[in-house]
């Protein structure tokens, strides 16, 4: 009998074996959402009717022997930053409240083609700006490990939905860590593919040169299976890579043996040290030892330019975002605020943008507008692009020595709601370890690697590979997962307390 705790791979097998139906599975997850989402708030919109209709079609297809692929019939949740035809898409912003896109993002279209019923849209920091999902205009998502803590961000909704067993699979997007960091702090798996590996068409852009959609799951194998569905060339996205990709599912299965013989792993010197939570570092060091024991060769590598990654990121991202968000002007869709009197179009735009955007969005629009201004462009945007080139060179040099690079995914475990809301710099530092991969376009995964001793909260291990070598991320990620799970005697999520609040129940570990 299938349960919401089953992995997507298990559910796929149960469907293939005729032990369950898509309608049954979809209903199971809808029931779970109904039961827990009031507390977790992972979803902004739940589309029970649509999901069940898709599930019924999937079952009919399977009955005819026409199942479209292994995940046909396995339900999924989608971050609210991807357009969904007929289903609201708000990007966590008031300015898009009520907007129903007339078209599907390519990722969404591929999910539909592969037969995955879409349960709904998940919560996120407004326009994906944030690391805690507290910047959602529709209220924060809570961490299933401790409801008083943040689930990471910007894709806290997708990570929490998977961690709380509301969905077996979810789609996230990662501009500076928005898939990987939520994965780390919720004890789930998140993958940022190579830039260009997954189509961005229909992904409402935060920073076009950094954004990538990717899998949010509970296991590396599930992520790989999902990546096989959503990846590949899309002629609608000019930056999409036009090449054949290997099967990531096979890569993950190969890695699951846990054998790392002959694999060279680099530990990034710059991504450790002061400011890193001891429990995070302890789990990281253990994980590295575990991999050495499994045959891996580990060396330290230095990436000196990573020191400037955060600064470069916070120029490039706001610059692109300030331009991307200009389209939200009340003229064609979304919120419209009409001031008193006989306002001009410009006054309507101003009033709408003032009312429709949250503080963090405004902060970044102002930053980006400034960075692109005449006379400042070279000093800010231009310099940031140079740093970006240096970071790519650091990666090139590192990958000349090793097969993959590893680091903790995030410097700390999940912090408390509100703790960093008034300190943008502290919030930004959460993405210190994840940002370099976005700047260079390389793929990365976050795999749960234990609980921090001081707070009992989950910690993530990040594995990075050279651009196009996403299969390596899955192979090594799956190996680490297999070794760690074997040591724990079961998935890390089995150790979660079950949607309780540390503040009210005093639970600490």
> For other proteins, which is the closer residue by CB, 307 or 331?
331
Site residues (CB under 8 A) for other proteins?
A: 82-83, 89, 91, 96, 99, 101-103, 105, 200-205, 207-209, 235-239, 319-320, 322-323, 326-329, 331-333, 345-346, 349, 369, 372-374, 377, 381
Distance CA 434, CA 438 (A): 7
> For other proteins, which is the closer residue by CB, 103 or 289?
103
Catalytic status, residue 131: no
> For other proteins, which is the closer residue by CB, 144 or 172?
172
> For other proteins, which is the closer residue by CB, 68 or 336?
336
Beta strands at 76-79 and 118-122: parallel, antiparallel or unpaired: parallel
Within 269-410, strands assigned E span: 297-301, 404-408
Distance CA 191, CA 173 (A): 9
- Who's near 469: CB < 8 A, 6+ residues apart? 194, 443
> For other proteins, which is the closer residue by CB, 9 or 321?
321
**Shortest Å, Cβ 109 to other proteins:** 12
**Shortest Å, Cβ 201 to other proteins:** 5
> For other proteins, which is the closer residue by CB, 155 or 408?
155
Distance CA 215, CA 213 (A): 7
**Shortest Å, Cβ 374 to other proteins:** 5
First to last CA, the chain: 32
**Candidates 22, 79, 131, 502; catalytic one:** 79
- Answer for the pair 84, 111: CB distance below 8 angstroms, yes or no: no
- Who's near 487: CB < 8 A, 6+ residues apart? 290
- Answer for the pair 99, 116: CB distance below 8 angstroms, yes or no: no
Catalytic status, residue 264: no
**Shortest Å, Cβ 204 to other proteins:** 4
Burial annotation 77-91 (CB, 10 A radius, 16+ → b, else e): bbbbbbbbeebbbbb
Tokens of 318: 């706001």
> For other proteins, which is the closer residue by CB, 281 or 348?
348
**Shortest Å, Cβ 219 to other proteins:** 29
DSSP SS3 for 85: coil
Tokens of 453: 């001793």
Within 189-329, strands assigned E span: 189-192, 212-217, 264-268, 297-301
Q: Would the CA dihedral through 454, 460, 461, 467 be positive or negative?
A: negative
**Shortest Å, Cβ 180 to other proteins:** 21
> For other proteins, which is the closer residue by CB, 64 or 332?
332
Distance CA 131, CA 152 (A): 5
Quick one: which of 472, 400, 493, 456 has its CA closest to 191?
472
CA atoms within 13 A on the CB side of 454: 11
Distance CA 36, CA 32 (A): 6
**Candidates 154, 305, 322, 407; catalytic one:** 154
Q: How wide is the angle at C-alpha 217 spanned by C-alphas 49 and 451, nearest 5°?
A: 130
Q: What are phi and psi of 215, to 5 degrees?
A: -80, 145
**Shortest Å, Cβ 334 to other proteins:** 8
Distance CA 149, CA 492 (A): 18
> For other proteins, which is the closer residue by CB, 204 or 417?
204
**Shortest Å, Cβ 314 to other proteins:** 16
Distance CA 416, CA 406 (A): 27
**Shortest Å, Cβ 329 to other proteins:** 6
**Candidates 58, 131, 136, 178; catalytic one:** 178
Catalytic status, residue 154: yes
Q: Which residues are catalytic?
A: 79, 154, 178
């Amino acid at each position: 009998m299938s349960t919401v705790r089953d992995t997507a791979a298990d559910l796929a097998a149960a469907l293939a074996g005729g032990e369950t139906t898509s309608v049954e599975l979809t209903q199971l997850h809808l029931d779970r959402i109904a039961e827990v989402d009031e507390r977790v708030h992972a979803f902004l919109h739940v589309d029970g009717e649509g999901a069940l209709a898709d599930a019924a079609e999937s079952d009919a297809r399977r009955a005819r022997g026409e199942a479209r692929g292994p995940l046909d019939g396995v339900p999924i949740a989608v971050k609210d930053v991807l357009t969904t035809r007929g289903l609201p898409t708000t990007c966590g912003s008031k300015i898009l409240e009520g907007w129903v896109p007339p078209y599907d993002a390519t990722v969404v279209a591929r999910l539909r083609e592969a037969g995955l019923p879409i349960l709904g849209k998940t919560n996120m920091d407004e326009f994906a700006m944030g690391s805690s999902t507290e910047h959602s205009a529709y209220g924060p998502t809570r961490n299933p490990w401790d409801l008083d803590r943040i689930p990471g961000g910007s894709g806290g909704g997708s990570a929490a939905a998977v961690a709380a067993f509301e969905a077996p699979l979810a789609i996230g997007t990662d501009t500076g860590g928005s898939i990987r960091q939520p994965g780390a702090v919720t004890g789930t798996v998140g993958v940022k593919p190579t830039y260009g590996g997954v189509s961005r068409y229909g992904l409402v852009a935060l920073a076009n040169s950094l954004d990538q959609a990717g899998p949010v799951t509970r296991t590396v194998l599930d992520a790989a299976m999902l990546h096989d569905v959503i990846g590949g060339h899309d002629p609608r996205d000019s930056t999409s890579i036009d090449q054949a990709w290997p099967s990531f599912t096979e890569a993950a299965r190969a890695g699951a043996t846990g054998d790392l013989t002959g694999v060279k792993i680099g530990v990034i010197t710059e991504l450790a040290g002061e400011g890193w939570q001891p429990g995070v570092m302890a789990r990281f060091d253990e994980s590295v030892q575990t991999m050495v024991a499994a045959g891996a060769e580990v060396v330290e590598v230095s990436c000196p330019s990573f020191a400037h990654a955060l600064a470069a990121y916070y120029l490039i991202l706001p610059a692109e975002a300030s331009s991307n968000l200009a389209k939200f002007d009340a003229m064609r869709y979304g919120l419209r605020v009409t001031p008193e009197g006989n306002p001009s179009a410009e006054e309507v735009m101003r009033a709408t943008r003032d009312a429709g955007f949250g503080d963090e969005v405004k902060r970044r629009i102002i930053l980006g507008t400034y960075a692109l201004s005449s006379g400042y462009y070279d000093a800010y945007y231009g310099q940031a692009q140079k740093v970006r080139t240096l970071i790519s060179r650091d990666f090139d040099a590192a990958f000349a020595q090793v097969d993959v690079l590893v680091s903790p995914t995030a410097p700390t475990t999940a912090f408390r709601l509100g703790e960093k809301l008034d300190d943008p710099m502290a919030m930004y530092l959460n993405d210190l370890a994840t940002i370099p991969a976005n700047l260079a376009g390389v793929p990365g995964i976050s795999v749960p690697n234990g609980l921090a001793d001081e707070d009992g909260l989950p910690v993530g291990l990040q594995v990075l590979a050279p651009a196009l070598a996403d299969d390596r991320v899955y192979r090594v990620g799956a190996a680490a997962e297999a070794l760690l799970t074997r040591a724990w005697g079961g998935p890390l999520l089995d150790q979660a307390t079950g949607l309780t609040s540390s503040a009210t129940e005093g639970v600490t570990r």
